[in-house]
Chain A
Amino acid sequence: MDFGPYLLLASLEGAVMAAVLALTAVGLSIVFGVMRVVNVAHGEFFMLGAVFAWWVASWAVGHPAIGFVLALVLAPILVGLIASAADMIVLKRVEYDPERTIVATIGLLYIIQQVTLMTFGPEARPVQPPFNQRLALPWFEFGENGFEIIWPWGLGTTSYKLFVIAAAIAILLAVWALMSRTKLGLYMRATQLDRQMAQAFGINVERVYVSVFGFGAGLAALGAVLIVPIQQAHYLMGGDPLLLSFIVVIIGGLGSLSGTVVAAVLIGMSDGVISMFFSPTLAKILSTLLVAFILIFRPQGLFGKRAA
């Protein structure tokens, strides 16, 4: 394939990946920012989102779009409720102590993964996309007849992939509005800034924690529902998103929303482009290397504020 169309295709693939990654990583980032909890089970909430999406979609009858829309609404809510329950039953009991929450969420990771294996099974299961037209994309070249529009072999995308990108942007805008324009967002930001002061001003910090943990998991689940018509639900699918989300959150700056989004786009796009031109392994090597450099030279991340 020629360089131009190749790059366009790589960027499109990268954009889909960046879109889902942004949602997942923003969830992780909010949880860390507000609660100071490193949620190792985040990838499993992503996986649960995909599994619930399959479950809801397989119950729904009629056009696949009905099942998909139901999944888009129900799966994140269910996952959010499970996460909130985990917060109340486990994280609250260990008093949000940093070390113990890491161990506790590792435990959650295994519990969720193995319960899924025991119930959902080890197979990968597909969810039908609500719509999926293949869109061939044109390219231009200056040939013998001057400027020409051609339709290169293999250059195309699907309407659903474009929808994933658009939906992710819309959801991220909604998250931003929630954080900066609503009372709940105000509570969250206040708790993030100073937990004790927030409590002194009458904010029910415990309730904020419960909702933030559920909200973060719900965002991961939402990302998963969007990707599951492309990738299929599988009980081991949480590993990659977890690793990439951590990379993104570290690069973007822990607790910084805009930083997380920028880093997600950076990592997603570069992963798409590098893995197409070279190899997917090299893409992973480079992003991990970037994390190492960030940790050495700018530990607070690209957009993070230096801890006081």
Chain B
Amino acid sequence: MLAVQRMRQNPLDKLFVRIQTHFTAKATGWQIRRGTEMAKKLIKPILDTRRGVLQKMAVGAGALAGASAMPGLMRYAQAQSSEPIKIGFQCHKTGIGAAYGRWYERTSDAAVARINDMGGINGRPVELVIEDDGTDPKRGAEVLEKFAKQSNCDVAFGTLFSHVVIGSAPTAGELKLPYFVVSEGHHVASGMLNRYTLQPGITDVRSQVIAMAPFVADNLGKKVTMIFPDFAFGHDHRDYFSAAIKEQGGEVIEMIAIPPTETSFTKYFPKIPRETEVIYHVMVGPAVLTFVKEMGEFFGSNKPEIFGFIDSLEAVDINSPGLEFLEGTYFWEGNPRYAQADQTSFDKNYREAVGVNDQGSSVTDSSDISTYAHMFGCWETLNVIKKGMESCDYKGPDDRPALIEAVEAMTDMPASDDHPQGTKEFNGKTHQAFGHQYISQVKDKKLNVVHTTPIEAGYYPDEVDYTKQPF
């Protein structure tokens, strides 16, 4: 029996087992006695040898065991006042939101660097703890738990996709972890979530579409066909735009819902009725370029008016082959991708800090198009967190309720380097910010802003008063 087993074991297995037993036995014994500094000295020469990955793994495990054997040592070593404020960043690094995640991360890094350059928050440096949520609600909730229990973050921040926000917010409420989202969805202001969830850096879909509807009805047409992604974010568009266009004397004659993971779209377009005057499209996911391209192929030269949310084109080059038909069509933009003639100094500074050129792409790679219409929300939210922490003199997790109260007390957020997208009004009761919306037209393969809505155009009656909920 033994002989058979020995014969089956191949050389690689043997090597692995040998390395494992050698290092786990040796490393744990030594390091627990001598502390992490010693461990680092030990690891260094070993890492430099050729045996590589397997050894790193084994030694890493040993070092971890060593470090966790001495809890508190790191903590006391540092003066309390200089300990960084940790912001857990729930990032769509992978999954259908990956393009947004990449730019949300760059923007947040730039915002944090700026805050630290200005002296941090309450004299303490700020540190982003980044975790990938895979654009998945279940993983999102786990990530929040990790922030609260494992990495000891002060607040959580960052998410865009509405299903991840909706899936994570209950966990934030249970853990009593302030959760600042940059999501656009109406779920915050609708009262669906809880007191610990706030959206101070970006406007919500309901506000966007009611500000937008008069422009569509007055300039493009009254009979609208809507194409939207089939999840919470798309449903906000469906519900609030159809109500808003009705108020303007128009109507939605067909609604086409498409799963956000879909990769081929031609099969949905024949549902567009012939009497359609305006196509209203908003799409997300990795296949948005295919979506817009196939829409162009479907219509050919004979197309209705087209009004899209820039989501359908975020991170996509408007000069891509097949998108020529977009010339003359309109887009909502949360923040204009192309630097406009009347660009503010705030927008200029913000672009420079994040590394975005006047065409809205990365300064180092012009084919890497930003998600410019959304990512400003990260920058602004981080500045709101800073301001909130400063006004409540935030010291640590015990002050979390005070932080939320401090943000709830905010109202005016004037356009500034902290708020480069423009002036905002924050509603502390609904935890939602309101701001300007931009409508751009594609002209000479560039997006030119043709209309800016006033902030009041996006107001609607409060649906919730979170300040009445207990902490």
Contact = CB atoms under 8 A, between A and B. Distances in A.
A43 to B, nearest CB: 13
B93 A122 contact: yes
A230 B298 contact: no
Contact of B300 (A121, A156, A276): A156
Contacts of A123: 98-99, 102, 286, 315
Given A1-B274, A126-B320, A153-B302, A231 B267 contact: no
Interface string B231-254: 000000000000000000000000
Contact of B262 (A154, A158, A230, A280): A280
A134 B300 CA distance: 7
Contact of B263 (A9, A117, A237): A237
Nearest to B299: A154
Interface in B254-291: 259, 262-264, 266-272, 274, 286-287, 289-290
A1 B267 CA distance: 12
A236 B287 CA distance: 11
A128 B293 CA distance: 12
B259 A280 contact: yes
A230 B270 contact: no
B321 interface: yes
Contacts of A10: 267, 270
Nearest to B98: A122
Interface string A220-237: 000000000011101011
A6 B94 CA distance: 37
A134 B297 contact: yes
A143 B118 CA distance: 75
Contact of A156 (B263, B268, B271, B298): B298
B191 interface: no
B322 interface: yes
Interface in A90-139: 93, 117, 121-124, 126, 128, 132, 134, 136
Nearest to B269: A154
Name the residue among A123, A154, A275 with the largest chain B CB count within 10 angstroms.
A154
Contacts of A237: 263
A44 interface: no
Given A124-B287, A153-B274, A276 B321 contact: no
B84 interface: no
A9 B270 contact: yes
B95 interface: yes
B425 to A, nearest CB: 35
B298 A232 contact: no
B82 interface: no
B78 interface: no
A272 interface: yes
Nearest to A234: B286
B21 interface: no
A13 B267 contact: yes
A111 to B, nearest CB: 14
Contacts of A275: 267
A144 interface: no
Contacts of A272: 267
A270 to B, nearest CB: 12
B150 interface: no
Contact of A230 (B95, B101, B264): B264
Given A153-B274, A156-B300, A122 B95 contact: yes
A230 B267 CA distance: 13
A241 to B, nearest CB: 11
A236 B285 CA distance: 12
A242 to B, nearest CB: 14
Interface in B360-392: none
Contacts of B274: 1, 153
Given A93-B10, A153-B274, A276-B270, A231 B287 contact: yes
Nearest to B289: A126
Contacts of A6: 270
Nearest to A12: B266
A134 B299 CA distance: 10
A13 B266 CA distance: 7
B290 A232 contact: yes
A158 B297 contact: yes
A307 B320 CA distance: 52
Contact of A240 (B263, B267, B269): B263
A124 B286 contact: yes
A3 to B, nearest CB: 10
Interface in A142-186: 153-154, 156, 158
Contacts of B264: 13, 17, 230-231
Contacts of A281: 259
Contacts of B300: 134, 136, 154, 156
Given A134-B300, A153-B274, A240-B263, A230 B269 contact: no
Interface string B65-97: 000000000000000000000000000011100
Contacts of B315: 123
Name the residue among B264, B268, B270, B320 with the largest chain A CB count within 10 angstroms.
B270
A9 B297 CA distance: 12
B286 A154 contact: no
Interface in B293-346: 297-300, 302, 315, 320-322
A17 B263 CA distance: 12
Contacts of B259: 280-281
18 contacts: A13-B264, A122-B95, A122-B98, A123-B102, A124-B289, A126-B320, A132-B322, A136-B300, A154-B299, A154-B300, A156-B300, A230-B290, A231-B287, A232-B286, A232-B290, A234-B286, A240-B263, A272-B267
Interface of A: 1, 6, 9-10, 13, 17, 93, 117, 121-124, 126, 128, 132, 134, 136, 153-154, 156, 158, 230-232, 234, 236-237, 240, 272, 275-276, 280-281
Given A9-B270, A230-B290, A232-B289, 12 more contacts: A93-B10, A122-B95, A122-B98, A123-B99, A126-B320, A128-B321, A154-B270, A156-B297, A158-B297, A231-B290, A232-B287, A236-B286
A-B CB proximity, top 8 nearest: A122-B98, A124-B286, A1-B270, A276-B267, A122-B94, A234-B286, A275-B267, A154-B298
